[in-house]
Amino acid sequence: MRKYLLIFLLVIWSCKTDQSLSSEDIQKQLQTMQKLGTSEFTIKKVYFIKDYANYKIGRRKNVTEMKATVVAGIDFSKIKIEQIDHKKKTIVLSIPKSKIIYVNINPNDIKHIPLVSITRSDFGIDEFQKAEALGEKLIRNKIKDLKILDKSSKNAVLFLRTWLTTLGFETITINQYN
């Protein structure tokens, strides 16, 4: 994240020296940023796994808690400058839709609390791994429910508007494409 912030600050600083940049110069500066995470979320998920066997006495349950960091943003190298007019101070850009840059589930942020009857065997490593895979799936489904990509797209547009305003553009049109 620090790398992206440093690149962003360098781009802003380099843009203030020359207010009449060509579209090629702006395109190069956008491409140097590559992927910019415009939204970061922390998602915590708690879920239960129950194992009731009809032929065994007792119950086995596992409570799993997972925490994931989700970063979404756009690929700045795919931004297209459709039109630029320095005299009228207008610019038209097309940006790609936001996508998930990464989902990080730190192993230290995964907690298993097995609740096992004395008559049953403990959960094995393979069962914990299956529980973790289920947790990752639940977290990825939660990403869709939280509309993280929509929020990330709005943040990317806000970032670009601010940046282009510092370059001296007054009329900024930003379109999204798939």
What does the pLDDT look like over 132-147, one tens digit per residue?
Answer: 999 999 998 888 888 8
How many CB atoms lie under 10 A from the CB of residue 127?
Answer: 16
Cα(31)–Cα(15) distance, rounded to whole angstroms?
14
CB 68 within 8 A of CB 36: no
- Alpha-carbon distances of 81 from 8, 16, 70, rounded to whole Å: 19, 19, 29
Are 79 and 94 a contacting pair, CB within 8 Å?
Answer: yes
Query: Helices marked H in the chain — which ranges?
Result: 2-15, 23-33, 125-145, 148-166
Q: What is the pLDDT of residues 19-72, one digit of tens each?
A: 566 767 776 776 666 777 788 999 999 988 887 666 677 778 888 999 999 999
Specify the amino acid at residue 37: G
111-131: pLDDT as tens digits: 988 877 776 778 888 888 888
**CA separation for the pair 68, 35 (Å, rounded):** 20
pTM score, two decimals? Answer: 0.68
